[in-house]
Amino acid sequence: MAQNKAAKDADYELVAENRKARHDFFVEEALECGIALLGTEVKALRAHKVNLRNSYARIRRGEVFLTNVHIGAYAPAGQFGHEEERDRKLLIHRREINRLWGKVRERGYSLVPMKIYFKRGRVKVELALVRGKHLYDKRAAAMKKQTRREIERELKRRSG
Q: Note the pLDDT tens digit of each residue in 20-75.
A: 888 888 888 899 999 998 888 888 888 888 888 888 899 999 899 999 988 888 87
Tens digit of pLDDT for each residue in 70-110?
Answer: 888 887 877 777 778 889 999 999 999 998 888 888 777 88
- pTM for this predicted structure: 0.74
Task: Write out the H or E segment, with its range, that includes residue 115.
Answer: strand 109-119
What are the boundaries of each domain within the chain?
A: 5-133
Distance CA 66, CA 151 (A): 40
CATH code of the domain occupying 5-133: 2.40.280.10
**CB of 58 within 8 A of CB of 67?**
yes
Q: What is the structure's pLDDT at 1? A: 38
Residue type for position 47? A
Q: What is the structure's pLDDT at 74? A: 82
**CB of 50 within 8 A of CB of 16?**
yes
Q: What is the structure's pLDDT at 27? A: 87
Is 3's pLDDT higher than 70?
Answer: no
Tens digit of pLDDT for each residue in 108-145?
Answer: 788 999 999 999 989 999 999 988 877 777 788 888 98
